[in-house]
Structure 1
Amino acid sequence: MENSSNDAKQKFSARYKEINIEDNQWPSSEDKLSRQKEIENLTPLLINAQAPLVICLDAPWGAGKTTFVKLWSHYLRSLEIKSLYLNAWENDFADDPLLPLISTFDKWIAAEDEDSTARAAWKKAKKFVPGILKSSAVAAAKAASFGILDIDKELEKLAGDVVGGAVGDIVDSFNVKQKSLEQFKSQLSVALEALPDDQNNLVIFIDELDRCRPTYAIEMLERVKHLFDLDQIIFILAMNRDQLGKSIQGVYGASFNGAQYLKRFIDIDYQLRTPSIKEYISARLDEPEISGYFKARKEGRYDLEHIIELMAYLALRFEYTPRDINQLIGRLKLIFRSIPHNHYLDESIIVPLLVLRQENPQLYTKYSKDALCANNVIEFLSGKKIGEGALEHRIAVMFGYLIAAAKDPYSNQSMEEVLAPWIKWSKTLTEIADASQVQSELQRAVNMVIELANGDREFRMRRGLNELAFKRIELAGEINFS
């Protein structure tokens, strides 16, 4: 099947793009997971809290911590409250996490007037940095200052002596570092005068800490605790606390309590609200490349809504994490890329079979060879035997397609055995409806399965429906998205 020229130009991105908020409007159009109230309720804590303070923003991987932090920073900006942002993972190539922290401060203070008290104090604070840095970072700072270090010659020499072993006594080495630390913190406190007159605390967001090298994450926490434990500074650390605790345990050994270790650095824990599965899927499918694809389709709005319903149903059934959902959407994007706008999308076949291939490869292979086992597939995907539980309309459409795809519209193949349990279920529901004189939603859904399964007209021009779906799924199924 050849793509049209327009389809061929359709771009595919394997990564989810980070939000970029340029205006000062609140609520933000980028708030896809309804975080507005959560952010507004948390903000008074920042404004009124007694610093120093370290807050852990805890959530599983993929639950939207980065987006939350950026929306929160955006909200603070709309209130004219100054905050700083540091992505720890993007900077874990640094020998010492102090360098990116210093750089983040430097970009803020650099906006101050040249002759301001804050800028003068910060200039002095940076002179003491070499005495605090790790030895390898001092060497790097000498080679290239990254535009942030204003190193006094005597302090540079002193720092070099410390790391080079020229200081004969280890106590002298310790005293140098301690003095550098004291002077750095003293000057940093003065530099905080750059805060607006009506703002008590500087808010510093550190994101993606749990994705860093464990040793780097530990050093970042220690730098925050020992160098920036000052009045007027509040840190918000976005992380999966459980995962980071396990990473730390991996560094220190199985008997080490990583979770207890983190308590040394964190004053307040906040568990980020986990969005509903459907809410999360809708947000992930609201990317320009996906929404643009569906806008170009004749039935695009219905197709997209149907996919969201199917994915939500199956994700709940198999207890998918955000990472699992991202994997599934990544594969779907590849499949969308292979289907021109004017061709059938067949999401009622493709979505469940993608999940089936992941969750039960043996049953997937069996169905690919003989789709008359469709009821086995349906029972596995639903977790119920036919004749039990509720059945929503869009899910009934999916089940009907899975059965209908087993039928060759050009043959006299019998579907009686496959449809027998559905017909029995329909008769039972009919008897109940006759007694109550009300046709239930469940009865209509069951009848929908039977109608689609027998829908010769619906599938007459789509011979080989399953075969084409399997080819697309096999291509996408071999690729993992992290």
Structure 2
Amino acid sequence: MIKDDEMEQGSTDANKIFFVRYKELDIENGGWPSGEDKLSRRKEIENLTPLLVNAQAPLVICLDAPWGAGKTTFVRLWSEYLRTINVANLYLNAWESDFAEDPLLPLISTLDKWISAELDESKAKAAWSKAKRVVPGIIKSTAVAAAKAASFGMLDIDKELEKLAADVVGGAVGDIVDSFNVKQKSLEQFKKQLSIALEGLPDGQKNLVIFIDELDRCRPTYAIETLERVKHLFDLDRIIFIIAMNRDQLGKSIQGVYGSSFNGAHYLKRFIDVDYHLRTPSIKEYISVRLHEPEIESYFKSRRDGQYDHEHIIELMAYLASRFEYTPRDVNQLVGRLKLIFRSIPANHYLEESIMIPLLVLRQEAPALYTRYSKDPFCVNEVIEFLAGSRIGQGTFEHRIAVMFGYLLRPAIDSQSKEGMEKVLAPWKEWHGQVAEMEKSSYPSDFQRAIKAVLEFATDDREFRGRRGLSTVVFNRIELAGEINFS
């Protein structure tokens, strides 16, 4: 394998493209079980579905999980599973439509597409046509606009509503109470006609399921209005809403709109009947999914020791992510920087993941210590103590982690300062001596084996032959990506 100090620029591998954003998931019409179910959601979805299908509507279910826990993937997988068992359902990404003046419009549009494409029953379509025509009397732009539309024959509503609308247009009423009456009667007509349209659901289907996704990413006012529309217009038999959100975060956003004394969490209870807390994947599980994206897998397949490198990186990242209680957002930041670094390393060059991963994390969590270590490798024990926390004393690090610590120690040994090197290795040799005593027993502990591995990797010249100054190479690569943040 070519060494890093012999790097040649311009390799086609170095120009490999990595996607910063996730590629669109290929879930729809993909069958079941889905190949996109990377976090093993199948059992959870299949167990929830009978409760959903047999629930008494109207019902609003909150699918609650923190950011990055996979709510969107879960909802899309659930929607696809329902389709495979012939349960009609609709999906609306609220964040993609929060430019609308009124969230009712995206909801109406979603329903319209489904009814136009899926319902064959003429009575249902006729009822829906009437429901659409009273929408202008409900939207935020006031009932007067609706009344003007009625005067041009655009609304098909009962005679009483037509008369009142005409009076408003002619200025004969001009009272806000009558404007309110237009809205109220339009609302009644809408709900009545929608209920008739729902009679066109497929045989044997009790309820229409409507998924609303990413509500917590919307403008707080838009999110509030969406919930109000769901409550006031769609609180009907045969409609079940499943709203995916980080309930705590949305509650805080609502509090930001109404003031610190306002209880946003309590306010949300007005709109939600049932809470379901989505299982949060382990951070290692999430890391593994991110590092098995197709373009990353392709990169490691092109490397001679790619499978080992790939697995090693997952283990190191999981260890450090657990140590610093990383969220999925933190993992995304780290993976984004790794992609940039991978792009700079041809497949036939050393990857040096054992020192690259801890230094990436160190730069993020303790930039001052990172800078010190880059200039003075003799502070390495402080670095290791910081990265490991209490786990060295507890003896809970495994072989791959021991290798990482050994690589971190190596720059101090390469400095050729015997006095400094002995000082750095002293605590490890002391541990090693204790291990030697304990090894008189037949079964040495994992901790004993790990301490031996640290010393072996730190002091084995064969492991680092021709790779003097590897930390400098790694520091340079990290700085390449260090100033860029990924969401």
TM-score normalised by L of structure 1? 0.92
Alignment of 1:157-306 (within 5 A): 168-306=174-312
- Hey, what does 1:479 align to over in structure 2? 484
AA at the equivalent of 1:471: N
Are 1:131 and 1:159, in contact at CA under 8 Å, matched by a contact in 2?
A: no
Alignment of 1:358-373 (within 5 A): 358-373=364-379
- Hey, what does 2:423 align to over in structure 1? 417
Are 1:410 and 1:460, in contact at CA under 8 Å, matched by a contact in 2?
A: no
- In the alignment of these two chains, the number of paired residues is 474
Q: Which moved more, 1:452-461 or 1:371-380?
A: 452-461
Are 1:205 and 1:236, in contact at CA under 8 Å, matched by a contact in 2?
A: yes
- Hey, what does 2:82 align to over in structure 1? 76
- Quote the offset at 1:464 in angstroms: 2.2
AA at the equivalent of 1:477: G
Q: Which moved more, 1:357-366 or 1:467-476?
A: 467-476
- Quote the offset at 1:158 in angstroms: 8.1
- Hey, what does 1:146 align to over in structure 2? none
Rounded to whole Å, the distance in 1 between the matches of 2:252 and 2:206 is 35
Alignment of 1:389-408 (within 5 A): 389-408=395-414
- Quote the offset at 1:264 in angstroms: 0.2
Are 2:135 and 2:186, in contact at CA under 8 Å, matched by a contact in 1?
A: yes
Rounded to whole Å, the distance in 2 between the matches of 1:116 and 1:22 is 28
AA at the equivalent of 2:469: G
Q: Does structure 1 residue 94 correspond to structure 2 residue 97?
A: no
Rounded to whole Å, the distance in 2 between the matches of 1:402 and 1:229 is 61
Rounded to whole Å, the distance in 1 between the matches of 2:303 and 2:143 is 55
- Quote the offset at 1:114 in angstroms: 6.7
> Which consecutive unaligned segments of at least 5 residues does structure 2 have?
1-6
Q: Does structure 1 residue 456 correspond to structure 2 residue 481?
A: no
Cα 1:42–1:153, aligned 2, differ >3 Å: closer, same or farther? Answer: closer
Are 2:15 and 2:343, in contact at CA under 8 Å, matched by a contact in 1?
A: no
Alignment of 1:117-156 (within 5 A): 117-135=123-141, 151-152=154-155
AA at the equivalent of 1:152: L
Rounded to whole Å, the distance in 2 between the matches of 1:165 and 1:352 is 73
- Quote the offset at 1:412 in angstroms: 6.9
- Determine helix, strand or coil for the equivalent of 1:72: helix
Are 1:386 and 1:421, in contact at CA under 8 Å, matched by a contact in 2?
A: no
Q: CA deviation digits over 1:376-411, x for unaligned, max 9? A: 110000003855422200100100110113333888
Are 1:33 and 1:279, in contact at CA under 8 Å, matched by a contact in 2?
A: yes
- Hey, what does 1:440 align to over in structure 2? 445
Q: Does structure 1 residue 54 correspond to structure 2 residue 60?
A: yes
- Hey, what does 2:3 align to over in structure 1? none
- Determine helix, strand or coil for the equivalent of 1:353: helix
Rounded to whole Å, the distance in 2 between the matches of 1:361 and 1:464 is 21
- Quote the offset at 1:463 in angstroms: 2.4
- Quote the offset at 1:176 in angstroms: 0.4
Are 1:95 and 1:137, in contact at CA under 8 Å, matched by a contact in 2?
A: no
Rounded to whole Å, the distance in 2 between the matches of 1:471 and 1:430 is 39
Alignment of 1:461-472 (within 5 A): 461-472=466-477
AA at the equivalent of 1:429: V
Rounded to whole Å, the distance in 2 between the matches of 1:87 and 1:164 is 40
AA at the equivalent of 1:463: R
Are 1:368 and 1:470, in contact at CA under 8 Å, matched by a contact in 2?
A: yes
Rounded to whole Å, the distance in 2 between the matches of 1:213 and 1:164 is 37
Cα 1:221–1:159, aligned 2, differ >3 Å: closer, same or farther? Answer: farther
Cα 1:151–1:329, aligned 2, differ >3 Å: closer, same or farther? Answer: farther
Rounded to whole Å, the distance in 1 between the matches of 2:226 and 2:186 is 18
Rounded to whole Å, the distance in 2 between the matches of 1:156 and 1:475 is 68
Are 1:374 and 1:418, in contact at CA under 8 Å, matched by a contact in 2?
A: yes
AA at the equivalent of 2:320: L
AA at the equivalent of 2:431: W
- Quote the offset at 1:424 in angstroms: 1.2
- Determine helix, strand or coil for the equivalent of 1:31: coil
- Hey, what does 2:353 align to over in structure 1? 347
Rounded to whole Å, the distance in 1 between the matches of 2:165 and 2:312 is 64
Cα 1:115–1:75, aligned 2, differ >3 Å: closer, same or farther? Answer: closer
- Hey, what does 1:336 align to over in structure 2? 342
TM-score normalised by L of structure 2? 0.91
Rounded to whole Å, the distance in 1 between the matches of 2:156 and 2:120 is 22
Q: Which moved more, 1:436-445 or 1:326-335?
A: 436-445
Cα 1:113–1:220, aligned 2, differ >3 Å: closer, same or farther? Answer: closer
Are 2:134 and 2:156, in contact at CA under 8 Å, matched by a contact in 1?
A: no
Cα 1:294–1:157, aligned 2, differ >3 Å: closer, same or farther? Answer: farther
Are 2:402 and 2:450, in contact at CA under 8 Å, matched by a contact in 1?
A: yes
AA at the equivalent of 1:458: E
Q: Which moved more, 1:382-391 or 1:464-473?
A: 382-391
- Determine helix, strand or coil for the equivalent of 1:406: helix
Rounded to whole Å, the distance in 2 between the matches of 1:219 and 1:258 is 14
- Quote the offset at 1:198 in angstroms: 0.8
- Hey, what does 1:6 align to over in structure 2? 12
- Hey, what does 2:388 align to over in structure 1? 382
Rounded to whole Å, the distance in 1 between the matches of 2:377 and 2:323 is 22
Superposition RMSD in Å: 2.7
Q: CA deviation digits over 1:181-211, x for unaligned, max 9? A: 0001111111112311111011100000000
